[in-house]
Amino acid sequence: MIPFIDIHTHNSQTSKGVVSVVNCDDGVVPDIWCSIGVHPWQSIQASSDADFVDKSMKGLESKCVLPQVLFIGETGLDANRGADMETQKVLFLRHVALSEKLKKPLIIHCVKAIEDIVAIHKQQHPTQRWLIHGFRKKAILASQLLHQDIELSFGPFFDADAMKLAYESNALWLETDDSGESIVDVYQKAAELLSISVDELKLNIYQRAVLLSSSFRLE
């Protein structure tokens, strides 16, 4: 049976028919599909510790090689929180390098930094997919990212036109993040908006998920 895929969540509870990629918030890799990285908010520690980037990246690679780690991240840029943008970019680029080295896609947290993400993508030419999670912005910003081949993940709150554009670009993902909502409800809401059946949407996402990481095939 084709599962519902929750591409980014902080909820580690499992439910039948759902495959979740759980973000490791405490730095401990659980025995389930997950993502791990240094969140841009954590970069604030760099203001009191000059070695923060090196130190925090040091133990990360050995965790990221584990087979249950499907994505590197969440990582990214946040103009509202964390260290200054230059420090955040240094930290983000280290995750990009790790993603390329380990051939695992990136899950990205991006607040008011879409242009920076696009510019870095252009400059780096990554071979791995980049997914911006929790996308709530308008279609005009979505199109900038999609045009650069960056994919978008939507939670319970989203802009309808942006979601339609991501679907048309074959780059739509769904997630619950920390909302506490059910991924089934997110799929239902999205399918309704896209005027397709939930089954069609499940198949669309699943087919791209197995290309992203063959691990999804095991489910």
Q: Could you tell me which residues are beta bridge partners of residue 71? A: 35
Q: By C-beta, is 110 or 146 nearer to Zn ion?
A: 110
Contact present, 107 and 8 (Cβ < 8 Å): yes
Binds Zn ion (CB under 5 A): choice among 135, 177, 201, 205 = 177
Instruction: Provide the 3-class DSSP secondary structure of residue 34.
Output: strand
Q: By C-beta, is 73 or 114 nearer to Zn ion?
A: 73
Minimum distance from residue 168 beta carbon to Zn ion (Å) = 25
6: contact with Zn ion by CB under 5 A:
no
Q: By C-beta, is 6 or 177 nearer to Zn ion?
A: 177
| 172's tokens | 């739509």
Please identify, among the stretches 41-49, 64-72, 100-108, 175-183, the one whose residues bind Zn ion according to the rule CB under 5 A: 175-183
Please identify, among the stretches 31-39, 65-73, 149-157, 174-182, the one whose residues bind Zn ion according to the rule CB under 5 A: 174-182
Residue numbers 78-107 binding Zn ion by CB under 5 A: none
Q: How many residues does the chain have?
A: 219
- Residues 207, 213, 218, 219, CA torsion sign: negative
- The residue behind tokens 């997919």 is 129
Kindly state the helix (H) or strand (E) to which residue 96 belongs, with its residue range. Answer: helix 85-102
Q: Could you tell me which residues are beta bridge partners of residue 173? A: 153
* Single-letter amino acid, residue 56: S
Q: By C-beta, is 174 or 194 nearer to Zn ion?
A: 174
Cα separation, 199 vs 91, whole angstroms? 39
Minimum distance from residue 81 beta carbon to Zn ion (Å) = 13
How many of the chain's residues bind Zn ion (CB under 5 A)? 1
| 89's tokens | 């970019």
Please identify, among the stretches 13-21, 45-53, 90-98, 176-184, the one whose residues bind Zn ion according to the rule CB under 5 A: 176-184
Q: Could you tell me which residues are beta bridge partners of residue 106? A: 72, 130
Binding track over 138-167 against Zn ion, x by CB under 5 A: ------------------------------
Cβ neighbourhood burial of 198 (10 Å; 0-12, 13-18, 19+): middle
Please identify, among the stretches 29-37, 161-169, 171-179, 181-189, the one whose residues bind Zn ion according to the rule CB under 5 A: 171-179
Contact footprint for Zn ion (CB under 5 A): 177
